Amino acid sequence: MIKALRRKVLVTLMLAVLPLLLASCLGYRDLDHIAFVTSILIDQDEEENLVFYFETLNSIRNSSKEANQEERIVYKIATQNPGDAINRLETHTSAPVTLAHNKVILFTERFAAGGLDQAFDIFDRWQESSTRTLLGVYVGETEDFIKPNHEEEVMTGLYLYDMLGNKASVTSYGVKLNIKEFMNQKIIGDHVNSMSIMNVSKDKDTKGQYFLDGLALIKDYRMVGRLSSEKSIYFNFLLDNEVSGNINTQNPEDRTKTVSLLLQNNRYKSRLDYKDGMLKMEIILKLNTDVSLIQGKLKLNEENIAKLEASMAAKIRADCLALFQRWKDKGTDIFDIQEKFDRKYPKLAGRNIIGSTELDLKVTVDINGTTTLRDAE
């Protein structure tokens, strides 16, 4: 009697657990039938069709192997209506498509000049789309996106995500920007976003390799200009972004040679003062550096270190002021001055202040000292 009762209880428990086991197996099998989008490139052709390149990770079933294989497949979808792009993608795959794991969205320069709003909203509103997806402007050939030259990485999306999200690289030659930050910046201040530019090498030895190549400036969804990699450093200085990397200045003992200073950290203070229709923006920038490379010969005594600090400070100040004046003359605030002005002077918010702004910039450079004298060739 007791044994029979135990047997019935055991059978009941097994029947209760079995559906859970089957559901787990079914969920696993469903993953084998999903196409995961990992990166997207958006272009525009001569007929003004939007051209989407979807990089996907697909599970390939192979009867000769016990485990399934994963394969990178890029699908090209041309459409007039961006809302149809993802639906049409599913007609090209043998499985449902998910954007939940998409890492990067790239826009060609041609598409960005025409306006990101042609397709951007579908990613902001798409239920499965992640607001953490990183953004960039792509100036390479589309063929290089389809067949990239980075054998160490299988998926371009993961590779680019690391490049665009790597603090050491983007703080010198670009910026880290995701969908959420883009949408926030689009509605505040002067509605200007800065976006990293991704280029592809054409050199014989490195052909097809990706590299960061400065910044694209996006105002109200439209690309209005770009900054070179060198100018991106000064842009980041003026926006109080952490900057890393090297900056070169003249060798005080040989003006035909240079000295490279490695930036360790930068401290930033700013203050706004509005009076008689003019806005004065005071910025104090203090940089800590190390000597990383010397061309020619140089004794690192107190006199030469002082000359290096002064020449570097003067160079950074001059280049920052030139960059500021260039965009002030264009009437475009790429430095978030409008946002700061609206917050400090809410009663005056809304007026275009960039044309009435004067920049007072003070730069000091400290070279981490040494008590010894060093010569370098």
* List of residues 6+ apart from 148 with CB closer than 8 A: 156, 159, 208, 210
Mean pLDDT along residues 171-188: 79
What ranges in the chain are assigned the alpha helix state H?
Answer: 2-31, 85-92, 109-114, 120-125, 142-146, 156-165, 167-173, 179-186, 229-238, 302-329, 337-344
Give the pLDDT of residue 173: 66
pLDDT band at 161 (very low <50, low <70, confident <90, very high): confident
Q: Cα angle vertex 38, ends 176, 107, to 5°?
A: 55
Cβ–Cβ under 8 Å, residues 354 and 190: yes
Residue 99, number of CB atoms within 10 A of its CB: 21
The per-residue pLDDT for 54 is 94
pLDDT tens digits, one per residue of 184-210: 887 777 788 899 999 999 888 888 888
Q: Give the pair of three-digit tokens for residue 222.
A: 């439209």
Reduced to 3 states, what is the DSSP secondary structure of residue 351? coil
Instruction: Encode pLDDT of 143-157 as tens digits.
Output: 989 888 766 566 788
Compute the mean pLDDT over every residue in the chain, rounded to the nearest whole number: 82
The answer on pLDDT for 374 being more than 80 is no
The pLDDT assigned to 156 comes to 83
By mean pLDDT, which of 149-163, 182-196, 264-278, 346-360 is the weakest? 149-163
User: Using 50, 70 and 90 to split pLDDT, how confident is the model at 100?
Assistant: confident
Name the pLDDT band for 84 (thresholds 50, 70, 90): confident
What pLDDT score does 242 carry? 76
Task: Map residue 178 onto helix, strand or coil.
Answer: strand
Q: Rounded to 10 degrees, what is the CA torsion of 216, 103, 99, 185?
A: -40
Per-residue pLDDT, 15? 41
> Could you tell me which residue, 206 or 25, shows the higher pLDDT?
206
**Residue 23 clears pLDDT 70, i.e. is over it:** no
pLDDT at 283 over 50: yes
Q: Is the pLDDT of residue 19 over 80?
A: no
The reported pLDDT for the residue numbered 207 is 84
Q: Band of the pLDDT at 365, cuts 50, 70, 90? A: very high
pLDDT band at 108 (very low <50, low <70, confident <90, very high): very high
The pLDDT of residue 44: 92
Q: Which pLDDT value is given to residue 3?
A: 45
